[in-house]
Structure 1
Amino acid sequence: MSSTDAEIRKLARVLGVSADRFAYLRDVPQADVRRLRDQVTTTLFDAHLNVLERMAGASRLLPNPLLAKLAERVFGPLLAARIAGLVDIGRGVDIAKRLPPGFLADVAAELDPRRAAGIIAGLPEPVVVRVARELARREDWITIARFVDTLPETTIVASLDVIPDHGLPLVAEMLDEVARVAYIVDLLPDHRAGTLPDDLAG
Structure 2
Amino acid sequence: MSKCRSGKIAGLFAVAALCLIKPAQAIESVIQRLSNPDMHCGYQPTFDLFNGVVNALSESQSTAASLTLRREDRRLELLIHFKPGQSEIPSNCLPKLEVLNEAAKAGKSGPILIRSSTQTEGSAELDLAVASQRLDAIQHYFRDNRLARKAFVLELHPDTSSPLFGDAVRLPNMVEIYSSPAN
Q: Whose helix proportion is higher, 1 or 2?
A: 1
Structure ranking higher in strand proportion = 2
Q: Compare relative contact order (CA 8 Å, sep 6+) and give the higher one, 1 or 2.
A: 2
TM-score, with length taken from structure 1: 0.27
